[in-house]
Amino acid sequence: MKLMCSENRLMKLSFAILLSFCVFLLGVDAQSKKAASAKKPVAKKNEKQAKDARKDNSKNKTTATKDTKKGKAANEKTTAKKKEADKRDKVTAKSASREKDSKKKVDPKKAAELKRAEAARRKAEEERRQAALAEQRRREQAAREARERRLAFERGLRTETVQNIENDNTEGEDMTVRRAAVNALGSRAGTVVVMEAKTGKLLTVVNQDWAIKQGFKPCSTIKLVTGVAGINEHVINEEGGIGSSSSGMKLDWALARSHNGYFQRVGSNVGNSKMIDYARKLGLGEPTGINAEGETAGKLPYGNNNARIYSHGDDFEVTPLQLAVMVSALSNGGKKVVPQFQRPRVERTSYRAKSVANLDVPRESFEGVLPGMAGAAEYGTAHRGVDASMGVAGKTGSCIGRGSWVGLFASVAPVEDPKYAVVVITRGQGERGKYAAAVAGQVYNSLRSRISRNPDSIWAKRTMKQTPPADSQIARGDAEDEDEADDAATGEAPIVVGRTAQTMAPQPAVKKMVQKTSLSKPVFSPIVIEYDRSGAEKKRPRIVKN
């Protein structure tokens, strides 16, 4: 019984344990299902979160990349600045250490010597600086004094001119012409001579002291003598070229534009002695014979073989009266007149022209320079100052002489039958031949009513022909006398020995031309104006033989 009871208890206990185990399993299974059902939505949320996280990560990466680049650039700049600062610090430290080392190594004696040397160096630098300042002040003072001297010299020339004009003996002069000449001269320092070209009668001489008693450098007016000598000695050919050349620069153009090289080559072939001989024949280097006291004979360049005597008139001295006699002789058939005042009252009514002699030169030789003189008024160095329609023919000159610039213009009008010779010489820093020509132009304007033209005179029968200027020459425009540039720069005009005329002015290609004859009264018979159809006129007088 006891055994059965124990077995029953054991069975009951096992059943209870089994039941408890089953209940436990059911509970566990229920919990696992709940857990599974709870895990599903969480997984979905985790997927969305993962996507969002990926997007955020990509944005963060881009931003991070940009930030990284900016950071790198900033870091690089910062690093560079740090490196530069480190270098400066190192250099400063090195210099400081060197100074310390030098201070440590240099003993007091050496330090004192160094101080004295440094003081001496500074003193020397200060002395040099003060010397430079003193030199600068000295130069400025010298420049001021030079300007003052020039101004005083200019004032002195004008004052002397005014005083001389006041002291002029005007008895027998044409007062109308004299007033015109004085007004034309204005405030310039200079002299004016107005003479009848065929008789030598002096209508007026303004500033008689300069015109009669003083000699001046002739400058480019001497080229008239060189031209006559070159023609007569056959250095200048019938076409106006040098030697046997038929091309290149011609005499008339060289005279009108005052080309130095041309006349230096011509004169070098003529020679000094012959040049002086022709100058004397034309009235230079000797008194004119005027009925006034104190006339100077001038000066000729004996023994001077420099080429400048043929172009610039170096070592020549001439008077305005001599220039008036010269240009008159060139234009009135070679007759060399004697300038005369009509001072005594008896002499006024019985005045007779006086002449020394005719030029011992063939007519075609001295008349060969007249086209170039007319060209100076037509298109050359004097064309702005005179009225070419009045038949003015002349030669300008610009050079330095007697401590100042000298401007000259020696002329006659009308060139085909000369009635008047007008010579102007001015002096001063700003004077040039073109301004002297302008003074003469005003004098001619006052004489306009007394000048009549005769284009059928002997002028039209001369044998020398003018040639139209080359285009390259026309392009030179309003160039002043070439001796002006030479004297302003170096005082010398170079000459190239052996250079041919062909190299001077190469001829351009021939263009189709249309010829027109001027409607105004011609300077000589007839004036021909050539121009191309583009409208670029090239005015140049041409002579036609009757």
233 belongs to a structural domain: yes
pLDDT of 355:
65
- Residue 456's nearest CA partner among 375, 378, 366, 526 is 526
Which residues have C-beta within 8 Å of that of residue 336, sequence separation ≥ 6? 282, 283, 325, 328, 329, 355, 356, 357, 358, 359
* Burial bucket for residue 119 (CB in 10 Å: 0-12, 13-18, 19+): exposed
Which residues have C-beta within 8 Å of that of residue 74, sequence separation ≥ 6? none
398 and 480 in contact (C-beta within 8 Å)? yes
- Residue 372's nearest CA partner among 222, 487, 224 is 224
Q: pTM of the predicted model, to two decimals?
A: 0.65
455 and 522 in contact (C-beta within 8 Å)? yes
196 DSSP 8-state letter: E
Supply 312's token pair. Answer: 């610039």
Residue 401: give its domain's CATH number: 3.40.710.10
Supply 37's token pair. Answer: 């059902």
231 and 341 in contact (C-beta within 8 Å)? no
Element (H or E) spanning 324, and its range? helix 320-331
- Residue 451's nearest CA partner among 512, 390, 533, 501 is 390
- Residue 367's nearest CA partner among 488, 524, 192 is 524
SS3 75: helix
347 belongs to a structural domain: yes
473 belongs to a structural domain: yes
- Rounded to whole angstroms, the Cα distance separating 190 from 453 reads 30
| Number of domains the chain is built from | 1
- Rounded to whole angstroms, the Cα distance separating 69 from 61 reads 12
- Rounded to whole angstroms, the Cα distance separating 442 from 89 reads 84
356 belongs to a structural domain: yes
Distances (CA, A) of 480 to 327, 382, 387, 396, 403: 21, 9, 18, 9, 21
Write the secondary structure of 113-127 as one string of H (helix), E (strand) and C (coil): HHHHHHHHHHHHHHH
> Which residues of 52-113 form beta strands (DSSP E)?
none
- Rounded to whole angstroms, the Cα distance separating 250 from 477 reads 17
- Rounded to whole angstroms, the Cα distance separating 249 from 228 reads 17
Residue 143's CB is within 10 A of a number of other CB atoms, namely: 10
| Amino acid at the residue 233 | E
Indicate the Cα dihedral angle 283, 286, 290, 294, nearest 10°.
Answer: 150
- Rounded to whole angstroms, the Cα distance separating 379 from 322 reads 26
- Domain containing 201 equals 168-507
pLDDT of 20:
77
pLDDT of 311:
96
Supply 260's token pair. Answer: 């130095």
pLDDT of 66:
58
SS3 291: coil
- Residue 201's nearest CA partner among 331, 352, 319, 425 is 352
- Rounded to whole angstroms, the Cα distance separating 482 from 493 reads 9
243 belongs to a structural domain: yes
505 and 472 in contact (C-beta within 8 Å)? yes
- Rounded to whole angstroms, the Cα distance separating 316 from 499 reads 26
Per-block mean pLDDT, blocks of 10 residues, the chain (546 long):
61 78 71 57 58 64 60 72 78 71 68 88 92 93 88 90 95 95 96 96 96 96 97 93 86 95 96 96 94 94 94 96 96 91 65 70 89 94 93 95 93 93 95 96 95 66 45 43 52 33 33 32 36 39 38
| HSE (side-chain half, CA atoms, 13 Å) at 379 | 21
Contacts 24+ apart (CB under 8 A), 538-542: 538/468, 538/469, 538/471, 538/474, 539/378, 539/379, 540/375, 540/378, 540/379, 540/466, 540/467, 540/468, 540/469, 541/371, 541/374, 541/375, 541/378, 541/466, 542/465, 542/466, 542/468
SS3 543: coil
121 belongs to a structural domain: no
447 belongs to a structural domain: yes
223 and 263 in contact (C-beta within 8 Å)? yes
- Rounded to whole angstroms, the Cα distance separating 231 from 242 reads 9
432 belongs to a structural domain: yes
pLDDT of 500:
30
502 and 248 in contact (C-beta within 8 Å)? yes
